[in-house]
Structure 1
Amino acid sequence: MAAVVLAATRLLRGSGPWGRPRLRRFSSGGAHPGVPLSSPLPGVPTPVFATVGGQEEFETKVTTLDNGLRVASQNKFGQFCTVGILINSGSRYEAKHLSGISHFLEKLAFSSTARFGSKDEILLALERHGGICDCQTSRDTTMYAVSADSKGLDTVVGLLADVVLQPRLTGEELERARRAVQFELEDLSMRPDPEPLLTEMIHEAAYRENTVGLHRFCPPENLAKMSREVLHAYLRTYYTPDRMVLAGVGVDHEQLADCARRYLLGAQPAWGAAEAVDVDRSVAQYTGGIVQEEDFIPLAVLNTMMGGGGSFSAGGPGKGMFSRLYLNVLNRHHWMYNATSYHHSYEDTGLLCIHASADPRQVREMVEILTKEFVLMGGSVDVVELERAKTQLMSMLMMNLESRPVIFEDVGRQVLATHSRKLPHELCALIRGVKPEDIQRVASQMLRGKPAVAALGDLARLPPYEDIQAALSSRDGRLPRTYRLFR
């Protein structure tokens, strides 16, 4: 910082040809020596900032059509927009259907439709507006999205409606999707990073055979069973207007609503218009208890406070290592490869977990270190530590929302789940309001439930589940004596 200030000062003052200081207009050195950097310089014109339409209102607008479909938009300055359809569907709703359908449908997205003979035709239509497309599925949401020039909004919405409601699902496309899923499964099993598999395993352990605990990836044995009829049965149940949100960022709300009425109101899907009667409305059941929705913000702050990452920080040793998992774990135990906190949040439940890895010979000691950290969550919270975590969480929130696709997903997911959207300043106010007792309360409540454990690799020295549960219920987080490496 000192080097930057000195460089700026020398650039502004400089030297004349005879060695005398040369002062520039508006320079604070000499001409206006008493003006602090936080105040405008005398004589400098007042800046004028660009806005959308000259008067942009920072709000998310929501309109519900007659068929139950919601249209949500967020204005944002720029030439391009991101528009998509989010559907309340995913692996958590597959209990009465073939497991892996959502994963399979993701690979079929943006293939041929009633109006477009192939995926190439779709891409060419988007290319005229500088557009790109993508489809992503999660445990509770399927998202079809397009980013393109705002002038092509009508084309984009019409294309999205066709892709979602009128897919042809030809035999050739089904076979291509089978190969894509098969390749992804093989790649998943060979990746050196175990995080995706561990995430699946921890959900299966925490929510056994229900909702978000169901397989997110298509099992290999189900690939051959994926047929047009099987897919249509699922689509008929969950791809209904009342379970959809058309979300847009960087668009005029009324124009987006008009496009929705034109292409999505009264549209007949390829699988017929029969009413869905088999919708799975199960509430997620955690094996040891349910995390309450009102505790979402304190748990997010707790997750940031735990932090963590790899054993070598991205900025070099000693930089940015202020979270608990860095200070208490990675900085003290050189043999641990990784320790990272994750917070998975859903409409009706949530999961806070720590992923860690080490040499198989030190698995028992690693588990005890993690159980100690979990128990410490319910202990005293330093005010400076809490304020740092809240500031970091707000900073990540605001920086992520500088990206148009991220705003789109945030708008769509919130409106899909709650029919409205909390704006960033509202979320920041909630984060600022978190107190040490809130962290202690949610941590203590979490520790009273049964833990979910997932392990991968050489597990000969992994302590029994009962001992892990006993350690989390103790005051110091220690495993029973027979499993302690150091007494």
Structure 2
Amino acid sequence: MQTPSRPASAPSPRPKGLAKVHRLPNGVRVVCDPIAGLETSALCVVAGRGARFEDLQRSGWSHLLEHMVFKGAGERSAMEIVEAIEAEGGQINAATGYERTSFQVRCLSGGLPLGAAVLADLVLAPRLDPQDLAREKQVVGQEIAEAADTPDDLVFEMAQTAAYGDQPLGRSILGTVDSIGVADPTSLADWRARLYDPASLVVSAAGAVDEAELLDLAARHFGDALPPPAAAQAPEARFAGGEAVETKRLEQANLVFLLPTVGVSDPDYFVLRLFAEILGGGMASRLFQEAREKRGLAYAVDAYSETYADQGVLGVFAGCAAKDAVELAKVAAGEIAGLGRSVTPAELARAKAQIKGAMFMMRESPLARAEQTAAQLLLFDRPLPPAEIAAGIEAVTLEDLARLGADLCASRRAAVAVLGPRQAAGAASAFSRAMFG
């Protein structure tokens, strides 16, 4: 545990109502976002590093470490960690992504001191016992096997690998049984220090929170965290593209189509979000209406955008009968290629309303709000005012969508994954032919 309490730097200027940010002397950022009228709060400790920062030998270690810290940290055993939080009416969880790792506590008003103490132990003082590690490798091994047995998980991993190959973004966040098998307590402790560098840590709270209390807790528990000799670094990613086809005896074919596009920090980020919404974001979307309602090709079909700091993908997922897979691939390619040229003002207005609605609904959840603010700090070094985000959405024009659509077609690169009966295999080449000619 970190005991001395040291003052933080002066708070950064902020618009009225925006979460306030402080920086501790060691680089840890602290953000407080009170929400009036709530009796609960959310506390997140987010590290701006994840599986994208792993080399091949450490593939899956960030996720394995996230598991291991719950096996015992500070003075608490695995059972005592969860008992302490649940005895006070709270919940505790964690998640590992490609670019961030997050530890979260939801608690009743007054639960921040316990939540901060427990999360600090998890992030800064895990025990990493050798016997616990041996058992947890088995648990993660079962998680890897479960993902391989779940078609709509496996097909996304196949598409990710087709898109990025042997780069970190092309590997599963879970790693492999072999790659996690070589981790030992010493090497995992070294990886913890490199991954949870205080310069990449954000302590973020929203809901029934008091700023002075939060800042004191953060300084007490995180203020003495030391930087590692060398922090983990992420290599530049390159979308390669390709096809991944796996024949498997399933009732349905599972299809994923990915096209390279902009990242979250690009000026066209909201253009991409709106493009994906119009393409396949809801029941009024192009894909839903054309593929499901008009042609009956699929029960499940949707489009999405997955964005990283420097780049992203436009994705389409569908589950369909194997006999319909090739036709569905052609429909998906046709809708992507044609969307930018034919969006109506009504479609654009509806998409803007949907994205703004989702944004403001999310802000009513303390946990989502704390997570979002932490992510914004890690990406932009400041919280983004909701009005600024809404203005960015509203500024997108029909011409912007046409330009993005032209760029998607001009890339002439796609990553396609097809998982299911042999009859569906032709969907991979059918998509690329229909998309690029």
**TM norm structure 2:** 0.85
How much is the aligned-residue C-alpha RMSD, in angstroms? 2.2
Structure 2 CA distance for aligned equivalents of residues 356 and 125 of structure 1: 43
Structure possessing the higher relative contact order (Cα contacts under 8 Å, 6 or more residues apart) = 2
What aligned pairs does 1:321-336 form with structure 2 within 5 A after superposition?
A: 321-336=283-298
Structure 2 CA distance for aligned equivalents of residues 190 and 464 of structure 1: 22
Q: Is contact 2:291–2:297 with CA below 8 Å preserved after alignment?
A: no
Find the partner of 1:300 among 270, 273, 282: 273
The C-alpha deviation readout for 1:249-303, integer Å capped at 9, x for no partner, is 12222321221111111236xxxx64116x3242222227652511110111111
Alignment correspondent of 1:252: 210
Structure 2 CA distance for aligned equivalents of residues 467 and 132 of structure 1: 47
Shift of 1:133: 0.7
Shift of 1:96: 5.4
Q: Is contact 2:89–2:107 with CA below 8 Å preserved after alignment?
A: yes
Structure 2 CA distance for aligned equivalents of residues 263 and 340 of structure 1: 43
Which shifted more, 385-394 or 423-432?
423-432
- Unpaired runs of 5+ residues, structure 2, are 1-14, 242-259
The C-alpha deviation readout for 1:12-35, integer Å capped at 9, x for no partner, is xxxxxxxxxxxxxxxxxxxxxxxx
Q: Does 1:286 align with 2:239?
A: yes
Q: Is contact 1:111–1:163 with CA below 8 Å preserved after alignment?
A: no
Return the letter of the residue paired with 1:285: R
Return the letter of the residue paired with 2:262: V
What aligned pairs does 1:22-421 form with structure 2 within 5 A after superposition?
A: 58-77=17-36, 78-95=38-55, 97-116=57-76, 118-191=77-150, 194-250=151-207, 251-267=209-225, 274-276=228-230, 279-287=232-240, 291=262, 293-307=266-280, 321-421=283-383
Change over 3 Å in CA distance of 1:260–1:463 after alignment to 2: same
Counterpart of 1:205 in 2: which secondary structure?
helix
Structure 2 CA distance for aligned equivalents of residues 190 and 281 of structure 1: 30
The C-alpha deviation readout for 1:46-88, integer Å capped at 9, x for no partner, is xxxxxxxxxx952111111111111112111222211121012
Q: Does 1:431 align with 2:402?
A: no
Return the letter of the residue paired with 1:145: Q
Return the letter of the residue paired with 1:436: L
Structure 2 CA distance for aligned equivalents of residues 195 and 434 of structure 1: 32
Return the letter of the residue paired with 1:100: G
Return the letter of the residue paired with 1:148: C
Counterpart of 2:148 in 1: which secondary structure?
helix
Shift of 1:392: 1.3
Structure 2 CA distance for aligned equivalents of residues 263 and 143 of structure 1: 17
Q: Is contact 1:75–1:252 with CA below 8 Å preserved after alignment?
A: yes
Number of corresponding residues: 400
- Unpaired runs of 5+ residues, structure 1, are 1-55, 310-320, 475-487
Identity %: 28
Counterpart of 2:382 in 1: which secondary structure?
coil
Structure 2 CA distance for aligned equivalents of residues 420 and 252 of structure 1: 20
Return the letter of the residue paired with 2:326: R
Q: Is contact 1:200–1:216 with CA below 8 Å preserved after alignment?
A: no
Which shifted more, 462-471 or 93-102?
462-471
Change over 3 Å in CA distance of 1:387–1:308 after alignment to 2: closer
Counterpart of 1:148 in 2: which secondary structure?
strand
Alignment correspondent of 2:7: none
Structure 1 CA distance for aligned equivalents of residues 436 and 293 of structure 2: 26
Counterpart of 2:70 in 1: which secondary structure?
coil
Return the letter of the residue paired with 2:65: L
Q: Is contact 1:112–1:168 with CA below 8 Å preserved after alignment?
A: yes
Q: Is contact 1:109–1:135 with CA below 8 Å preserved after alignment?
A: no
Change over 3 Å in CA distance of 1:267–1:353 after alignment to 2: closer
Change over 3 Å in CA distance of 1:400–1:353 after alignment to 2: same
Find the partner of 1:462 among 403, 409, 425: 425
Which shifted more, 178-187 or 388-397?
178-187
Change over 3 Å in CA distance of 1:338–1:130 after alignment to 2: closer
The C-alpha deviation readout for 1:377-411, integer Å capped at 9, x for no partner, is 23121111111111111112211221111111111
Q: Is contact 2:20–2:31 with CA below 8 Å preserved after alignment?
A: yes
Which of the pair has more CA radius of gyration? Answer: 1
Change over 3 Å in CA distance of 1:173–1:437 after alignment to 2: same
